[in-house]
Structure 1
Amino acid sequence: MARIFITGSTDGLGRAAAQTLADEGHQVVLHARSRERAATLTDLARQSAGVVVGDLSSAVETRNIADQVNAMGRMDAVIHNAGIYLGDRDATPEGHARTLAINTLAPYVLTALMQRPGRLIYLSSGMHHGGDDSLHDIDWIERRWNASQAYSESKLYLTAFAFALARRWPDVLSNAVDPGWVPTKMGGRGAPDDLQMGHLTQTWLAASDDAPAKTSGGYWHHREPRQPAAEVSDRRFQDRLIAKLAEMTGVSLP
């Protein structure tokens, strides 16, 4: 059975994925933003291999999360599930836009600092197709805040990062997933997509021995490959993005 770490696993897709993997007998390491949030895990925590606590909007706490997971040993897979859509910029302790910090910077830092797993899964969105690849003012300091555009760009960056890792780290299976517009806290009760299929793609990529699940550099929706935005596969964009993220976080990708 696999050891799998899932960020943002106190509710929504992350919790559903954690429950599914735990029920299948895998050792799941959970993540909560705070001790108060960790207390809501109850029975799932008792099934788990451990719970790490830290706010992904904080650079200091994100580094601490990496330390906590590394202390448990190497993971077989990591599902970067945590994500956020905010109506305003809402600066982090370091002054970054919170949407960028949680959706892009934190997955980058965790990936760079944690022991390299066998599989990496990044939660994208179909909205990444609307992202701007200029990498100009990605922290929304000069531009007037646009919540939809900021979210779309954060997911474009994350998806391109997943593809960059598939190229740079051939010993790791790295994939991005569009879970669809599902009825979670972020998606809203009226979201039309299938919540069940929204999380089963992640669990399949994290632990399945099916041949398609053991491929790398894919963009998936409901266990079917989809075509990402053209920028995602652009090596020059990938390299520019990684250089930008390294500059912003002070963390170099191994």
Structure 2
Amino acid sequence: MDKKIVLVTGATSGIGRETAKALLLQGHTVVLHGRSREKLVTVKDELAAKTGNSDIDVLVADLESLAAVKRVANEFSEKYDRLDVLVNNAGNQYGGTWQATAEGHERTMTVNLFAPVLLSLLLVDRLRKSPHGRIVTVSSASHAQGGRPYLDDIELKDHYSYVRAYGLSKLYVIWAMRSLREHLLKQGIETIDVNCTHPGMARTNLGESDQRPFLMRLVFAAAIPFMSSVEKGAQSTIHAATSQEAEGLSDQYFGPKGQEKVSERHHTPANQQRVWDYCHEVVAPYLI
């Protein structure tokens, strides 16, 4: 297997950390992204010791800030002349009330949707330098549980709920990645694969916060015995990132059962276009 340069967002715990570990064991160069430099350095040292591969770098950014997304993309591009695989793994769940980032956007949509779209667009030039680049974005089976999309209120200012925000953010990012692939093809870029994955019900620290609604804390606690390991949950992302079988594939949704089907209940080309147009409007100031 050719040695790849891989950037994994949200790599200090859970699926991201396990993905990074597996890719290091495969012999690749892995750039770890996280919010805390201290935690990143600790994870870097631990992974180097466990894998015997010290070809690890770190990038610090809070993806609630789109300005920080732009900065971290610039930092990567200044240091590396190519990127073989971008793993948009970072994601989060927040509380029971609508919360804005410092830039004025809903927090769930920012981290789960706008940030991966922006980072992918900013790193296209580096991905084009790869013989065959890949963008892998971690969605969730919860994409089917967000209910009816409010496409005139994508950031849910008037329709917010904890479950709706997370589920729709994970649905919209699937649609956005399909549109990103179309966007690349229109520019004549055919050597970047764009796919989504989901880990199934894996035991991670996603959404662990006192802000989580009490009822949802009870639901999650009851579900823990039935959840799979992080190691198992990461397999679909690892497969999409580096397997030969996934090379050349796009618009796929890889899960624990292999190539799975996205819920298309609310999908139309027009709905997908509205989400893409909105995302592009949000991220456009950071593409300049």
- What TM-score do you get using the length of structure 1 for normalisation? 0.90
Q: Which has the larger radius of gyration?
A: 2
Q: Paired residue for 2:104, among 95, 100, 107? A: 95
* Structure 1 residue ranges, 4+ long, deviating more than 3 angstroms after superposition: 131-134, 231-234, 251-254
State the match for 1:159 in structure 2.
174
Shift of 1:73: 2.3
Q: Bigger CA drift: 35-44 or 235-244?
A: 35-44
Q: Assess if the C-alpha contact under 8 Å between 1:204 and 1:213 holds in 2.
A: no
Is residue 84 of structure 2 the alignment partner of residue 76 of structure 1?
yes
Which of 129, 135, 143 is residue 144 of structure 2 equivalent to? 129
Taking the aligned partners of 1:244 and 1:253, their CA distance within structure 2 comes to 14
Q: Which moved more, 1:89-98 or 1:146-155?
A: 89-98
Identity of aligned residues (%): 30
- Tell me which residue corresponds to 2:238: 203
How far is the alpha carbon of 1:252 from its aligned partner?
8.2
SS at match of 2:234: helix
3-state secondary structure, aligned to 2:275: helix
Does the alignment pair 1:44 with 2:47? Answer: yes
Residue 174 of structure 1 contacts residue 217 of structure 1 at CA under 8 Å; is this kept in 2?
Answer: yes
C-alpha contact 1:205 1:214 (8 A) present in aligned 2? no
Q: Which amino acid aligns with 1:234?
A: T
Q: Secondary structure at the match of 1:47?
A: coil
> How far apart, CA to CA, are the structure 2 residues paired with 1:85 and 1:23?
30
1:176 matches 2:196: yes
One-letter amino acid matched to 1:78: L
Residue 113 of structure 1 corresponds to which residue in structure 2? 122
Amino acid at match of 2:46: D
Partner amino acid, structure 2, of 1:63: K
Residues 8, 82 of structure 1: 8 Å contact kept: yes
1:166, distance to aligned residue in structure 2 (A): 3.1
Partner Cα separation in structure 2 for residue 248 and residue 168 of structure 1 = 16
Q: Give the structure 2 partner of residue 142 of structure 1.
A: 158
CA distance in 2, matches of 1:10, 1:173: 25
Contact persistence 1:119–1:174 (CA under 8 A): yes
Which structure 2 residues correspond to residues 20-35 of structure 1 after superposition, within 5 A? 20-35=22-37
SS state of the match for residue 69, structure 2?
helix
**What is the deviation of 1:133?**
3.2
Q: How far did 1:22 drift?
A: 0.4
Q: What pairs with 1:58-77 in structure 2 (closer than 5 Å)?
A: 58-71=65-78, 72-77=80-85
| Aligned residue in 1 for 2:281 | 247
Aligned to 2:249: 215
Distance in 1 between residues matched to 2:64 and 2:41, nearest whole Å: 20
- Tell me the secondary structure at the aligned position of residue 63 of structure 2: coil
**Alpha-carbon distance between aligned partners in 1 of 2:232 and 2:111, rounded to the nearest angstrom:** 24
Root-mean-square deviation (CA, aligned residues, Å) is 2.3
Residue 11 (structure 1) shift: 0.7
Query: Is this contact kept in 1: 2:195–2:251, CA < 8 A?
Result: yes
Distance 1:29 1:226 in 2: 28
Greater RCO structure (CA 8 Å; 6+ sep): 2
The Cα offsets for residues 159-197 of structure 1, whole Å up to 9 and x where unpaired, read as: 111222333334321111111111011276715134222
Supply the distance in 2 between the matched residues of 1:252 and 1:39 (Cα, whole angstroms): 28
TM-fit CA distance, 1:230:
1.4
Q: Give the Å deviation of 1:233.
A: 6.1
Count of paired positions: 252
1:219–1:226: 8 Å Cα contact kept in structure 2?
yes
Q: Deviations over 1:142-172 (max 9, x none)?
A: 23x3111000010011111122233333432
Distance in structure 1 (CA, Å) of the matches to 2:70 and 2:173: 18
Task: Name 2:8's counterpart in structure 1.
Answer: 6
1:40 CA displacement? 2.7
CA contact (8 A) 2:117 2:177 kept: no
Q: Hey, what's the Cα distance between the residues in 2 that align with 1:93 and 1:247?
A: 17
8 Å contact kept, 1:89–1:99? no
Q: Which runs of 5+ in 2 are unaligned?
A: 128-132, 185-189, 208-219
